[in-house]
Amino acid sequence: MDDELVGAGAVVDGGLDRREAAERARLLEVGEYEVHLDLTRLADCPSFSSRTKVGFTCGEPGASTWIDLVAERVTNVELNGVALEGDAVVRPGRIRLGPLLAENTLLVCAEHSAGSGATAGRGLTRTVDPSDGRVYVWSQCEAFEARRIFACFDQPDLKATFHLTVAVPSEWICVSNGISRAPDRGADTWRFSRTPRLPTYVFAVCAGPFHQVEGRYQDIPIRLHSRQSLRGQLDRSAEEIISLTQRGLAHYEEQFAVPYAGDSYDYVFLPEFGGAMENFGCVCWTDEVIFRSEPSSLTRQMRATVLLHEMAHMWFGNLVTMRWWDGLWLNESFADWAAFSALATIIGEGESWASFLYRRKRGGYRADQAPTTHAVNGAVPDIDAAEASVDMITYAKGASVLRQLAATIGEEAFRAALRRYFTRNAWRNTELSDLLAEVHAVSGLDAASWARGWLERSGTDLLTVHTEHKRGTYTAVSVRHRTPSSPPLDHQVRIGVYDDTGSGHLALRQQLTLRVNGDGAELAELAGAPVASLLLPNDDDRDFVKMRVDQDSTASLAQPWRLPFVLPRAVALTTLEDMMVDAQLPASAVVDAACGCVDVEDSPAQLEQVVSLAYDAATIWTPPEKRAESLGRIADACLRRLDGPGHSRQLTQSLRYGFTRAAVRTDHLDHVATLLARDADDHALRWLCLQRLVGACWIGDEKLDSEATRDPDPDAPARASIVRSARGTAGAKDLGLKLMFREHLPCRTQREWLSDAFWQPLQGELLAPYVHAYLAQMRMLLTEERYDALYAAAVAFPLTVAADDCVEGLADLGSDTRVPARIRKMLLDRWDLLRRATRTHRLALAGDSDAPTTCGNQ
């Protein structure tokens, strides 16, 4: 699964807690589901029906249990051939079963309603393409939503095989977890191969008049499906996606020593789908990754990473499945680690892990220092808690911890442990202890003790370098350890020793690996050595730790562009950012350091990430009265590089994106207008130009209408509405607020676009009243119990405009126990970010003269 759980509303219709799930799993073993879905009515209305036959055994004959089902109407229930009275056995979300025999057969027939709009992403969703009126249907079963499609024992440790048949309108294509046989002439029923033993949460069914492209991996068909209105875009993307899928499957089969177990590999690119989901052999994915125009290198890299992340789940999650949702972190952490490890074989170790640091790990550090932080491996008492636990600790910190484990025992030993784990536990359910046992077997590490420290406590340790020297020679070098909570962790960390070359660059003298425990560690190898320009802890980024350099290294740290490699540059720049977040450094120093890196980064993806970090520093972390100046420096740095010696088309594209976002002065805006007039085919850049020019009141709405007409993207009209909200007028903000709360935006990315457009960082005075209006609307949604709409609005939380009283209002809303746990956590995390930003603003306004402020290669 990618970052977003699609259905974010409160669990209703009978939840599920760990205690009762464990009791049901102790009692039952499920054999096979025979499921027939009739989706023919969905072409015209949201109704469909299910017929489910399930065989299961009971270890205690005579006992009772239940099966999960959410339906509009249950039309038939038969247990072991005996009809049960529906009114007597059905309660919200459950059908009571009993007394049970040793061998049982259950038949359940029901009528259902598919979700749409704000209820998309819970069970079966029906989407109408606004551009042509065609209907598409898709499932999302994680974490507890398969019960909305058919009767099932909806928990991860009651795995079973699935044999699915689906009736659809004759012009539709149907896709599920296995190879499909199209209906015979005159029929409308698709039949799918029987699956291996799978948990219910990776069951999938998608149907509609899809456009399809096919490739192969060995004898396995790879099929791509999109709505018809994106057929041209899918055709352009297909070769790259199929090639990456072939490379990914080959890589994982070699790394894990277990072949991919499916008989097909499908991607279904869907409107209104949030993120991506690793259904076995049938990955569902937002169709925003079917690029409408030539993507930037970073966008292409991000798509590749998500593809590899979901593919890794075919082994970790589908082949071997967690017993309960407290193992969700390991599913997602492993998939993140595996994805960036696989990406490293394509683009190189340094660039892959630098991208992980910029795009994922920074969020993990931030989450681990927020008031809502939690242990990586913590108790998950029920489904609500499972959904609330999904954050960047689940993904990024967990993946970083796995990387630290690999550094501790060695990469080959770690892979050997994984191979043993997959071989021994295929199609079973496991717990963390099963993986740790394999780690111990191959390495001898006391893995259980290691896990207690790294996985069962929250907070991020701090390592600080201390030096003593005389006449240019070190007399003592140590790394001191500070932990936010006990017990202190053991860190396997590398220290990069860098010297000034005399030509403005730093050269790597040596790398030292040491183990740092709660008492710290001495670098005896440096005693008597010449003083270095920079001692950079964690310069290979294999540890999850905050760090501070010694006084002699401060000036070099503030100039990360002087470092010779991409990953140490990323470590240095994000360390400066961490100091800014801790109010130890003004945001201007981070902007200056990033602008220096703009001059030297040759990877378009890395350059785009550096500029994005600089933009955050210049907006969120810079006081309003200094933002225009900081943004101007970013724009100037991008223009300087653009005007320099020849560079690739992709690098030019990344620089133009960065420049356009930061453009503030009249000469900048003139240049943006020129880009808009000149770049006819890069629609992503054109929308970015339009948003910047509308936000500066530089152009009128007629340009937006014209762009919505000429852009082949079927979602272009929605994008035009979003961009209108950037204009610095009350009328535009009133319409934007309505869009934020009363209209339906079909996916998370569009909600993020709206937040970026609406909360313009240089419109603070105009927007101040709208923060109060935002809070009032959020409270109204809470009163109306519109939790899905509340989640959508929370994504548009204001990060660049908030007065102190509004910050406290956001804290109050985040503390309201009526708010579903996942939304409450999101609000509290953003409140903490604003609170921290306010402290950094004060530092900038105080004019801390001791802070490094060098601005790079001018």
What number is the average pLDDT over the span 833-852? Answer: 78
Please report the pLDDT score of residue 13 as a whole number.
58
186 C-beta neighbours (distance < 10 Å), count: 6
Q: What is the overall mean pLDDT for the chain?
A: 91
391 lies in the same domain as 522: no
pLDDT one-digit tens code per residue, 658-713:
999 999 999 999 999 999 988 778 888 999 999 999 999 998 888 888 888 888 88
Q: Distance between CA 471 and CA 814 in Å, rounded?
A: 56
Please report the pLDDT score of residue 147 as a whole number.
97
The two tokens of residue 487 are: 């017990």
57 lies in the same domain as 151: yes
Confidence check: pLDDT of 857 > 50: no
Please report the pLDDT score of residue 10 as a whole number.
37
Q: Is residue 62 part of a domain?
A: yes
**Is 787 strand, coil or helix?**
helix
Please report the pLDDT score of residue 802 as a whole number.
67
Angle (nearest 5°) at CA 360 between 495 and 146: 140
Please report the pLDDT score of residue 9 as a whole number.
37
What share of residues in the chain are helix, strand, coil (percent, to 5)?
A: 45, 20, 30
Quick one: pLDDT band at residue 280, thresholds 50, 70, 90? very high
300 lies in the same domain as 380: no
Strand 205-208 relative to strand 265-270, pairing: unpaired
Contact (CB, 8 A) for 455 and 375? yes
Q: Distance between CA 257 and CA 253 in Å, rounded?
A: 5
pLDDT one-digit tens code per residue, 817-827:
888 888 888 88
Question: What are the φ/ψ torsions at residue 95 (nearest 5 degrees)?
Answer: -115, 120
Confidence check: pLDDT of 155 > 60: yes
Confidence check: pLDDT of 184 > 70: no
292 lies in the same domain as 338: no
Q: Is residue 468 part of a domain?
A: yes
Residue type, 310: E
Please report the pLDDT score of residue 327 as a whole number.
92
Q: Distance between CA 835 and CA 10 in Å, rounded?
A: 28
Quick one: pLDDT band at residue 747, thresholds 50, 70, 90? low
Confidence check: pLDDT of 518 > 90: no
214 lies in the same domain as 263: yes
118 lies in the same domain as 167: yes
Q: Of the residues 455, 489, 524, which one is the last residue of a structural domain? A: 455
- Percentage of the chain beyond pLDDT 90 is 73
pLDDT one-digit tens code per residue, 7-21:
333 344 568 999 999
Q: Distance between CA 338 and CA 95 in Å, rounded?
A: 40
Q: Distance between CA 352 and CA 463 in Å, rounded?
A: 24
Q: Is residue 183 part of a domain?
A: yes
**Is 697 strand, coil or helix?**
coil
**Helix (H) / strand (E) containing 191:** strand 189-192
Residue count of the chain, please give it: 858
Confidence check: pLDDT of 850 > 50: no
**DSSP labels, 428-480:** SEE-HHHHHHHHHHHH---HHHHHHHHHSS-S--EEEEEEEEETTEEEEEEEE
Q: Distance between CA 400 and CA 419 in Å, rounded?
A: 20
* CATH number of the domain where residue 411 is located: 1.10.390.10
Please report the pLDDT score of residue 680 as a whole number.
74
Measured in whole angstroms, the distance separating CA 321 from the mean position of its chain's CA atoms is: 20
277 lies in the same domain as 156: yes
Please report the pLDDT score of residue 294 as a whole number.
87
The two tokens of residue 577 are: 């950012």
Q: Token pair 């970790």 is at which residue?
A: 316
266 lies in the same domain as 347: no
Q: Is residue 536 part of a domain?
A: yes
Q: Is residue 564 part of a domain?
A: no
Contact (CB, 8 A) for 135 and 43? yes
Q: Is 208 left (phi over 0), alpha (psi -120 to 50) or beta?
A: left
pLDDT one-digit tens code per residue, 325-341:
999 999 999 999 999 99
Please report the pLDDT score of residue 103 as a whole number.
98
Q: Is residue 129 part of a domain?
A: yes
Q: Of the residues 412, 432, 455, which one is the last residue of a structural domain? A: 455
What number is the average pLDDT over the span 173-196? Answer: 86
335 lies in the same domain as 471: no
Q: DSSP letter at 564?
A: S
Q: Distance between CA 491 and CA 516 in Å, rounded?
A: 5
Please report the pLDDT score of residue 530 as a whole number.
95
Please report the pLDDT score of residue 92 as a whole number.
77
92 lies in the same domain as 217: yes
Q: Is residue 7 part of a domain?
A: no
Closest CA to 828 of 471, 231, 366: 366
pLDDT one-digit tens code per residue, 582-591:
999 999 999 9
Please report the pLDDT score of residue 7 as a whole number.
37
Confidence check: pLDDT of 851 > 90: no
What are the catalytic residues? 310
pLDDT one-digit tens code per residue, 535-570:
999 999 999 999 999 999 999 999 999 999 999 999
pLDDT one-digit tens code per residue, 438-477:
999 999 999 999 999 999 999 999 999 999 999 999 999 9
* Domain interval for residue 267: 18-312
* CATH number of the domain where residue 137 is located: 2.60.40.1730
Strand 276-277 relative to strand 265-270, pairing: unpaired
**DSSP labels, 800-815:** S---HHHHHHHHHHHH
Contact (CB, 8 A) for 178 and 195? yes
Count of structural domains, the chain: 3
Q: Is residue 716 part of a domain?
A: no
The two tokens of residue 567 are: 């990953």
The two tokens of residue 76 are: 């038939």
Q: Distance between CA 216 and CA 264 in Å, rounded?
A: 9
Q: Token pair 């690996």 is at which residue?
A: 513
pLDDT one-digit tens code per residue, 46-105:
999 999 999 999 999 999 999 999 999 999 999 999 998 766 677 779 999 999 999 999
What is the rounded radius of gyration, in angstroms, for the C-alpha atoms of the chain?
A: 27
**pTM score:** 0.94
Quick one: pLDDT band at residue 781, thresholds 50, 70, 90? confident
170 lies in the same domain as 281: yes
- Percentage of the chain beyond pLDDT 70 is 95
Longest CA span, the chain? 93
Q: DSSP letter at 64?
A: -
Q: Distance between CA 76 and CA 752 in Å, rounded?
A: 44
173 lies in the same domain as 270: yes
Q: Of the residues 455, 483, 517, which one is the last residue of a structural domain? A: 455
